[in-house]
């Protein structure tokens, strides 16, 4: 119990002390995870909508693969990126290994299936009547499809928040392709691992609390942007 | 009179089941037409085929004077002259304004005109006070009025109504019937209405079609069909025995 109290205390002290190293690590965590989320969103939302709306040979197989990859172990994602970016790999010439770019690539690999699969699910739950209503009001096919995506936005926001939750808390992939280099590729999660290994349990827990707070603030911003705060009254009334 | 819709030997199957088989049908401009028939008789399928939402399997289909080849540009051009209100009209997430403005914005109408037309349509339906209200929080009757306003805002030549009053209370129902009549008389909009309510058909429609098992069993002036139905099944249906 002492370790937990100590951790809480140390977490708040760390925040208040504005430790330069911690600020750098926190900003890099944000940079890596948010960049990966934006890229996964830019590719994953249209891909998910396409899988939901277009009927083609092999669609079910692709959907199944996407759903399977939603559970892709971070270490495996890291290993794949590592093999591609290492000197002997096909992209070795770019010298990206142990850089934040490599960490972003690995996290995109983890985030993309989540955004794509959950977007596909969200769009698939829409009824035919959404499309029919749009086109009968004079929408073009593209406008009607964009309306379908808009109507699925609660599900898509859920996809993005789920992906962000995974990315910001992920340690295996960023450790493998980033290497946890101080001042260069160290992020909050890899710092926790390092501090724990060094026996600094309270400090590790303190960093963990900062990580949680960060995730909470980002989620709040996303939900606020969607005008759907936790105070939203459009919930199902269970009496 | 010009025929807005012409169907010759139009069929539609779902799997092995034939749900529509119309040998011949013509709908002229400017009137209210009513499609009657028991559940599963093919009314909605017929409406979806002529509104270009469902592809027919065989036969010849002419809509607004054009032979239908299902090319996307043709579908868009023709659908933009039509509008539809269903029994539980889908409301987009957003305000009543967003919903009514949808069709106008899809046509890239200038913002000032959009505002004017939205207000005009909502005013006509007595829903102007709800303009900023979330559309999904309206009652069933209010939603139907917004759906009609939304359809009217795009000034359609043809308005399809698929049981527009089946889920709402009698007083709202009477109000909507009044609007249907008004839209037809004042805007010269052709209206094709599906209903289960015989009194509604009698009150509103100039002509009606009685559908049975995917076929058009009988078709004619509403008055004649109610007074002197030729087919025994029509007689039974109009007596409320089906």
Which residue is closest to B87 within chain A, CA to CA? A129
Q: Which residue has the tokens 């010439």?
A: A93
User: For residue B40, what are the contacts with CB-CB under 8 A and spacing of at least 6?
Assistant: B19
Cβ separation of B103 and A153 shorter than 8 Å?
no
pLDDT tier, A222 (very low <50, low <70, confident <90, very high otherwise) = confident
State residue A230's pLDDT score. 43
* pLDDT tens, residue order, chain B (242 aa): 578 999 999 999 999 999 999 999 999 999 999 999 999 999 999 999 999 999 999 999 999 999 999 999 999 999 999 999 998 899 999 999 999 999 999 999 999 999 999 999 999 999 999 999 999 999 999 999 999 999 999 999 999 999 998 878 888 889 889 999 999 999 999 999 999 889 999 999 999 999 999 999 999 999 999 998 888 888 888 887 76
Cβ separation of B90 and A127 shorter than 8 Å?
yes
Of the candidates B196, B197, B205, the residue with the CA atom closest to the CA atom of residue B224: B205
Do residue B76 and residue B2 come from a single domain?
yes
Which residue is closest to B151 within chain A, CA to CA? A137
Count of positions (residues) in chain A: 239
State residue B1's pLDDT score. 59
Cβ separation of A135 and B53 shorter than 8 Å?
yes
Do residue B96 and residue B119 come from a single domain?
yes
Q: Which of B123, B155, B187 represents a domain boundary (last residue)? A: B155
HSE toward the beta carbon, residue A208, CA cutoff 13 A: 18
Cβ of residue A135 closer than 8 Å to a chain B Cβ: yes
φ, ψ at A104 (rounded to 5°)? -65, -45
Of the candidates B133, B147, B94, B97, the residue with the CA atom closest to the CA atom of residue B117: B97
Cβ separation of A136 and B93 shorter than 8 Å?
no
Do residue B95 and residue B215 come from a single domain?
no
Cβ of residue A17 closer than 8 Å to a chain B Cβ: no
Q: Which of B94, B128, B155 represents a domain boundary (last residue)? A: B155
Distance from CA of A224 to the nearest CA of B (A): 16
* Architecture category of domain A2-225 in CATH: Orthogonal Bundle (1.10)
Q: How many CB atoms lie within 10 A of CB B67?
A: 10
Query: Rounded mean pLDDT of A137-161?
Result: 93
Q: Which of B155, B175, B206 represents a domain boundary (last residue)? A: B155
Rounded CA gap, A39 and A229, in Å? 25
Do residue B170 and residue B242 come from a single domain?
yes
Do residue B8 and residue B35 come from a single domain?
yes
Q: Name the residue among A129, A138, A151 with its Cβ closest to that of B106.
A: A138
Give domain limits for chain A. Answer: 2-225
Contacts of A235 in chain B (CB under 8 A): none
Contacts of A130 in chain B (CB under 8 A): 90, 92
Complex-level ipTM: 0.92
Rounded CA gap, A104 and B2, in Å? 64
pLDDT tier, A238 (very low <50, low <70, confident <90, very high otherwise) = low
Which residues span the domain enclosing B90? 86-155
Do residue B69 and residue B180 come from a single domain?
yes
**Could you please report the per-residue DSSP string of chain A?**
-HHHHHHHHHHHHHHHHT-HHHHHHHHHHHHHHHHHHHHHHHHHHHHHHHHHH---TTHHHHHHHHHHHTT--HHHHHHHHHHHHSTTSTTGGG--TTSHHHHHHHHHHHHHHHHHHHHHHHHHTS-HHHHHHHHHTT--HHHHHHHHHHHTHHHHHHHHHHHHHHHHH--HHHHHHHTT-TTTT--HHHHHHHHHHTT-HHHHHHHHHHHHHHHHHHHHHHHHHTT--TT-S-S----
Interface test with B, best of A125, A128, A131, A133 (most B CBs within 10 A): A133
Task: Give chain B's domain count.
Answer: 2
Rounded CA gap, A164 and A152, in Å? 18
Edge-to-edge strand ranges of the sheet holding B17-28:
B17-28, B3-14, B58-63, B66-67
What are the distances in angstroms from CA A107 to CA A110, A111, A174? 5, 6, 8
Do residue B174 and residue B242 come from a single domain?
yes
Cβ separation of A133 and B103 shorter than 8 Å?
no
pLDDT tier, A231 (very low <50, low <70, confident <90, very high otherwise) = very low
Q: Name the residue among B72, B79, B107 with its Cβ closest to that of A136.
A: B79
């Amino acid at each position: 119990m002492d370790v937990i109290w100590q951790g809480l205390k140390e977490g708040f002290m760390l925040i208040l002390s504005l430790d330069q190293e911690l600020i750098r690590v926190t900003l890099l965590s944000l940079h890596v995870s948010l960049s990966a989320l934006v890229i996964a969103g830019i590719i994953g939302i249209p891909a998910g909508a396409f899988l939901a709306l277009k009927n083609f040979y092999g669609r079910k197989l692709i959907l199944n693969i996407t759903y399977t990859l939603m559970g892709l172990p971070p270490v495996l994602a890291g290993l794949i990126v590592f093999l591609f970016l290492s000197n002997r790999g096909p992209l070795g010439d770019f010298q990206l290994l142990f850089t934040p770019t490599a960490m972003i690539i690995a996290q995109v690999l983890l985030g993309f299936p989540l955004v794509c699969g959950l977007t596909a699910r969200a769009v698939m739950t829409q009824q035919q009547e959404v499309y029919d209503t749009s086109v009968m009001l004079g929408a073009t096919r593209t406008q009607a499809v964009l309306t379908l995506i808009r109507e699925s936005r609660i599900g898509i926001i859920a996809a993005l928040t789920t992906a962000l939750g995974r990315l910001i808390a992920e340690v295996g992939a960023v450790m493998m392709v980033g290497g946890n280099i101080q001042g260069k590729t160290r992020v909050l999660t890899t710092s926790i691992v390092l501090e724990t290994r060094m026996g600094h349990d309270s400090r590790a827990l303190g960093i963990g609390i900062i990580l949680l707070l960060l995730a909470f603030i980002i989620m709040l911003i996303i939900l606020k942007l969607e005008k759907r705060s936790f105070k939203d009254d459009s919930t199902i009334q269970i009496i | 009179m010009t025929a807005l819709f012409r169907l010759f030997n139009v069929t539609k199957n779902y799997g092995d089941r034939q749900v529509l088989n119309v040998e011949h049908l013509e709908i002229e401009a400017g009137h209210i037409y009513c499609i009657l028939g028991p559940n599963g008789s093919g009314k909605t399928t017929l409406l979806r085929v002529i509104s270009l939402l469902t592809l027919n399997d065989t036969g010849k289909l002419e809509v607004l004077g054009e032979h239908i080849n299902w090319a996307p540009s043709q579908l868009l051009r023709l659908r933009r002259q039509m509008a539809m209100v269903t029994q539980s009209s889908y409301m987009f997430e957003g305000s009543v304004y967003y919903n009514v403005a949808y069709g106008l914005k899809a046509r890239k109408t200038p913002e000032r005109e959009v505002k004017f037309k939205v207000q005009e349509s909502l005013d006509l339906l007595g829903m102007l006070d709800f303009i900023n209200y979330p559309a999904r929080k309206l009652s069933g009757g209010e939603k139907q009025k917004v759906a009609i306003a939304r359809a009217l805002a795009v000034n359609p030549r043809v308005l399809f109504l698929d049981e527009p009053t089946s889920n709402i209370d009698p007083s709202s129902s009477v109000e909507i019937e009044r609007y249907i009549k008004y839209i037809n008389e004042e805007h010269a909009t052709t209206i094709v209405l599906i209903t289960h309510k015989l009194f509604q058909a009698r009150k509103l429609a100039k002509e009606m079609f009685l559908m049975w098992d995917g076929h058009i069993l009988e078709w004619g002036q509403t008055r004649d069909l109610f007074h002197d139905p030729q087919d025994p099944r029509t007689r039974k249906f109009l007596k409320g025995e089906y």
